[in-house]
Copies of this chain bind each other. A is one copy, B any other.
Amino acid sequence: MKYIETLREGERVSNIYLCKSKQTALTKNGKPYENLILQDKTGTIDAKIWDPNSQGIDDFDSLDYIDVVADVTTFQGASQLNVKRVRKVQEGEYDPKDYLPVSEKNIDEMMSELTQYIQSIKNPYLKELLASFFVKDTDFIKRFKFHSAAKSVHHGFVGGLLEHTLNVTKICDFFAGMYPLIQRDLLLAAAIFHDIGKLEELSVFPENDYTDEGQLLGHIMIGAEMVGERIRTINDFPKKISNELKHCILAHHGELEYGSPKKPALMEAIALSFADNTDAKIQTMKEVFSTVPQGNTEWQGYNRLFESNIRKTSEV
A: residues with CB less than 8 A from B are 123, 125-126, 167, 170-171, 174-175, 178-179, 181-183, 185-186, 210, 212-213, 215-218, 220-221, 224-225, 228-229, 232, 238-241, 243-244, 246-247, 250, 256-268, 270-271, 274, 277-278, 281-282, 285-286, 289, 297, 299, 306-316
How far apart sit A315 and B244, CA to CA, in the bound complex (Å)?
11
**What are the 7 tightest A-B residue pairs by CB atom distance, in nearest-first order?**
A216-B247, A263-B308, A123-B316, A274-B278, A216-B243, A261-B261, A265-B308
Evaluate contact between B316 and A246: CB separation under 8 angstroms.
Answer: no
A256 contacts which chain B residues (CB < 8 A)?
256-259
A213 contacts which chain B residues (CB < 8 A)?
239, 243
Shortest beta-carbon distance from A71 to chain B in Å: 37
Give the copy number. 6
How far apart sit A34 and B282, CA to CA, in the bound complex (Å)?
43
How far apart sit A229 and B60, CA to CA, in the bound complex (Å)?
36
Shortest beta-carbon distance from A105 to chain B in Å: 12
Shortest beta-carbon distance from A278 to chain B in Å: 4
Shortest beta-carbon distance from A213 to chain B in Å: 5
Evaluate contact between B261 and A271: CB separation under 8 angstroms.
Answer: no
A238, A285, A286 pick with most chain B CB within 10 angstroms: A285
Q: A183-B314, A213-B239, A267-B312 are in contact. List 12 more A-B contacts (CB 8 A).
A: A175-B278, A179-B286, A181-B312, A182-B282, A183-B315, A216-B244, A216-B266, A221-B224, A221-B250, A259-B262, A267-B282, A270-B282
A170 contacts which chain B residues (CB < 8 A)?
178
How far apart sit A306 and B228, CA to CA, in the bound complex (Å)?
26
A221 contacts which chain B residues (CB < 8 A)?
221, 224, 246, 250, 261-262
How far apart sit A215 and B311, CA to CA, in the bound complex (Å)?
10
Evaluate contact between A262 and B185: CB separation under 8 angstroms.
Answer: no
A266 contacts which chain B residues (CB < 8 A)?
216, 310-311, 313
- Given the interface pairs A178-B171, A216-B243, A278-B274, the reply to whether A268 lies near B313 with Cβ below 8 Å is yes
Evaluate contact between B265 and A309: CB separation under 8 angstroms.
Answer: yes
